[in-house]
Amino acid sequence: MPLARNPVKLLKFVFCFHNKAFCLRSPKSRTRGVWLEVRGNSRCRGTTIPATTAAILCVCVCDGRYTRIPLTHPPGRRPPSLERRLFASGGAGRRRGSGPRPVLAMSLYRNSVWFVKGLRHYCRSGYESASKHFVPEDLEVDVTGRHFMVTGGNSGIGKAAAKEIARRGGLVHLVCRNKDRAEEAKKDITTETDNQNVFIHILDMSDPKGIWEFTERFKNEHRLNVLVNNAGCMVNQRELTKDGLEKNFATNTLGTYILTTALLPLLEREDDPRVTTLSAFRGRDMKCSVLFGNPPRDRRTITVSSGGMLVQKLDVSNLQSENVAFDGTMVYAQNKRQQVVMTEQWAKAHPSVHFSSMHPGWADTPAVRSSMPDFYEKMKNRLRTEDQGADTVVWLAVSREAGKQASGQFFQDRQPVPTHLPLAQTKSSPGDEAKLMQFLEELSQKFKPR
């Protein structure tokens, strides 16, 4: 009996890894794949389906709402892929008593394919597999004399990145919201690395006026080679700041925008600035430029984004999440999509600075444990360590190879990766991207001290 006719039986299916392929397996028959109802072909009562489709079926069918997967196609024509049929039918089959639901189908497709991708590439096993191809010499550098700013540096990936930069001699500015936790992080970093050049700045990244004031003071007192935009938040209930801004947007998007644009003049004054992780070649490193040619462009801005942005298309009509039911996880993913778009636009506008965004993978951090407790409980044995999550941040900051990469790209495990899933329809128009940058510029100016 085709399992698509029996949602209750499908509930008994479980995900499992088999020969590195993700599929649904029947506990009774132990047959790889899933049985589907195939109309118009009496010779084929079942088929093995791709991993991505298996994930879609698990999400769509196992909730009990969908009971049929129509796979009919006109005679004489090559049948389209199951994914395309899912979209054409408005979902994984039709919901009984309702019409097509293309938006639901696309959302299910994006989230399902993303989750399968995450299980293969974002977990600890994904890092261990990718790290086999790392070049150890990339991180064997001395960055003494270079100045790095790491936001959200008191814990998690920010702290891990700051520690590795300090270990290599960098002067590190930790930008944190909580003074006590910042002091504790500084103590840990200086003790472990024996580098006393770690400085604390207290700043709330959801306060646009405070960010402007901070950057003006910083520019008058310090140098900067590398800016690491790591600070972020995921608030699961819609919350407004004192300025009337939705808190996730204020912290993740507007705060990142103001900090970066305000510090760009300082970065551009340096010989080799990078935003988020790299610094200038000085001292001994300049000798390398004589031996091996001129150093690659090293003005860099790196923004710690998230692979979650892959499920979101830029939505400039609802930047502060006012028009739909609030979902903190999806709002966060939308913010991360906005960060990737900002990175791409900055790269075009400021060719003297190397911009990049990156995905740290699914890492075991305090932010994940507090903001996504259910996800953490289910995945805690598969999550990356903080150091593994921070590895690409450090690589983007200090390695010469990173400076040779094209500006504006999105990185994962030291490699540029696509910013869109296949067939996910998440690409935005140039007009929408320009609208985002214009909106952020106009909004940021309202909080700039006169």
Token pair, residue 283, equals 């001292």
Max intra-chain CA distance, the chain: 78
Of 109, 122, 127, 332, the catalytic one is 332
Instruction: Residue 307: count other Cβ atoms within 10 Å of its Cβ.
Output: 23
Query: In sequence order, which residues have a C-beta less than 8 Å from that of residue 203 and are 6 or more positions away?
Result: 151, 175, 176, 177, 210, 211, 214
**66 noted as active-site residue:** no
d(CA 374, CA 377) in angstroms, rounded, equals 5
Instruction: Round to whole Å and give the CA distance between 34 and 48.
Output: 6
DSSP output for 399-446: -HHHHTSPTTEEEETTEE--SS-TT---PPPHHHHHHHHHHHHHHHHH
Q: Are 308 and 335 in contact (CB under 8 A)?
A: no
Distance CA 230, CA 225 (A): 16
**Distance separating alpha carbons of residues 201 and 152, to the nearest angstrom:** 10
304's enclosing H/E stretch is: strand 300-304
Q: Residue 156 contacts by C-beta under 8 Å, 6 or more apart in sequence?
A: 363, 365, 366, 367, 386, 389
**Residue 117, phi then psi, degrees to nearest 5:** -60, -40
Cα separation of 383 and 124, whole Å?
A: 5
Contact 231, 175 (CB under 8 A): yes
d(CA 416, CA 411): 4
Q: Which residue has the tokens 């075991």?
A: 364
The answer for residues whose C-beta is within 8 angstroms of residue 251's C-beta and 6 or more apart is 205, 206, 231, 232, 233
Strand extents, DSSP E, 312-428: 354-358, 409-412, 415-416
What CA–CA distance (Å, rounded) separates 300 from 276? Answer: 7
Sign of CA dihedral 209, 214, 215, 216: positive
Q: Which residues are known catalytic residues?
A: 332
